Amino acid sequence: MMIEIRHIGSVPVATVALPRIDAAVAVRFRQQFLEQLPAAENGIVIDLAPVSFIDSSGLGALISIIKALGLKQRPTICGLQKSVQTMFSLTRMDKVFAIHPDVESAAASLG
């Protein structure tokens, strides 16, 4: 499994169980994510702590997932490793996503 879904209160938390999100896995990653969690309009936390590398295909998959979920607010991610944080900053995705240091603070921000 590429994604592990759990809940903190009413907030779904999707932990990515991959070390890399790149062109080799992006399509399967998106597919599996949406099969496990087809809707989350009231918010979701995407925990990227296990991910040490993400490329443009991986970022594209995340954006595609967010659009498919129909979120009513900024998507929330957490646990970014330094290399992943750098990629988010360079691509200005840090302006698209609400970024938190850990799952607990991310879930709390969604209530």
Domain limits for position 89: 3-110
Q: What is the pLDDT of residues 16-54, one digit of tens each?
A: 999 999 999 999 999 999 998 866 767 899 999 999 999
CATH number, residue 34: 3.30.750.24
Q: What is the pLDDT of residues 47-104, one digit of tens each?
A: 999 999 999 999 999 999 989 888 887 889 999 999 999 999 999 999 999 999 999 9
Q: Domains in the chain: how many in total?
A: 1
Going across the sheet that includes 3-8, the strands are: 3-8, 11-16, 45-47, 76-78, 98-100
| H or E segment to which residue 3 belongs | strand 3-8
pLDDT value at position 101?
98
pLDDT value at position 1?
80
pTM: 0.93
pLDDT value at position 43?
87
